[in-house]
Copies of this chain bind each other. A is one copy, B any other.
Amino acid sequence: MEPYLVISADCHAGLPTEQYRAYVDPDQRAAFDEMLDARAQAAAARVSNEFADRWVEEQAEGLSGAWDGQRRDKELDADGVCAEVIFPDADAVTGFTGAPFGAGIGSTGRLDPTLALAGARAHNRWLAELCAESPVRRVGAAIVPVLDDPAAAVQEVEWAVANGLRAVMIPAMWQPYPAYHDPRYDVFWAACAAAELPVHIHSGPADHDEYGQYIGIYLTEVRWWAARPLWFMIWSGVFERHPTLKLGITEAGCYWANDLLWHMDTRYVGAHTSKKMNRDGIAGHLSMKPSEYFDRNCFVGASNLEVMELERRYMIGVGNILWGNDFPHPEGTWPHTREWLRKLYHDIPIDETRRMLGLNAAEIYQFDVDALRARAEEIGPTPTELGQVDDAANEAAWQHAKERGRFWLQ
């Protein structure tokens, strides 16, 4: 049986932060050096954590794949992954490879806009070099701080296209700027749609000021804050105005997506609970149901799925789910992806597995599948290796869930 062509829709890369210096505009280098000092102080104050310390020690070689392209390919080969989509901030434990000025995943509207742009540009310049080494295998997501100046963001999109970056990442949280339903962002959506660059929210930011010292609150909410732009953009007609725009929510899981679609669709058609509202005010400006925009315009870069999430795939949409190994983060499946895949996919039908593990990503990011095929033949896990020994039985076992699908539409 043909091996899987596995694409990780959620990987990370970044230089050790101090090495970004050469990529930072000269007039921002003083600020850059100040930032390095502040980081060094923060690092000294860091509370030690056994799991994290062991991780950094044991994976030291592999972690250098964060910036070393050869090492990177070697790690991904070992994991059975033949192509990848690359986000910033490779080190999720100590943060020593963070994009300059906190311009990476953690960037929000609270960051100084000049520094946000300077940090984004420095990272994007380096990332373009990394991707140029291996354009068949690597899709880089440019950091685009869209909040303060959407016209400048359009220029970054143009720069990204000209330099071979084929996706963009925007801040998960827009506060204190207007929300993503605001028309100010339309020039940016239009530019991304025209360039066929999927826009991403990557999980990370949350309403930190509210949590005190309680990490549990952060963990409980963080995925909600990452997913939030979805319903802001769907309900406000962004995808009605930009029908080819693509939006991905990355590393926020997807267990919430089926209830979200159920909730939006039932309100859209006028559920009993919302009849007292004017339906025109809810849906008058939309030509499709929320789940139809989701299918056409959105996807989840769900990374390492939970069993429970796989069970819900017919409601979420098999075509909307993209797997990822989150290399080189410890919360992902690297360097044990093959074991994780076997554990989670052994009872999933093969054609669905092919889509979630790679073909969905290939389509969205326009990977050259023919060019990747040889490597997949060499390193890709086979269905047998994933324990998928009786595909007909697996198909049959899921038939009921498949027929039920989006039950609220029936």
Contact = CB atoms under 8 A, between A and B. Distances in A.
B281 A51 contact: no
A52 interface: yes
Contact of A260 (B213, B220, B274): B220
A244 interface: no
Interface in A246-285: 255-256, 259-260, 262-264, 267-268, 272-278, 281-283
Nearest to A228: B221
Interface stretch (A13-21, A120-128, A231-239, A347-355): A231-239
Majority SS at the chain A contact face: helix
A47 B284 CA distance: 15
Interface in A295-336: 304, 308, 330-331
A276 B330 contact: yes
B212 A182 contact: yes
Nearest to A262: B308
A275 to B, nearest CB: 5
A375 interface: no
A290 B166 CA distance: 42
A362 B354 CA distance: 53
Nearest to A303: B273
B219 A277 contact: yes
A66 B365 CA distance: 57
A220 B282 CA distance: 11
Q: Which 4 A-B residue pairings sit nearest by Cβ, starting from the closest?
A: A216-B235, A273-B331, A220-B231, A219-B267
Given A216-B235, A216-B282, A219-B267, 11 more contacts: A51-B275, A51-B276, A55-B276, A92-B276, A181-B217, A219-B263, A219-B277, A219-B282, A221-B231, A256-B259, A275-B331
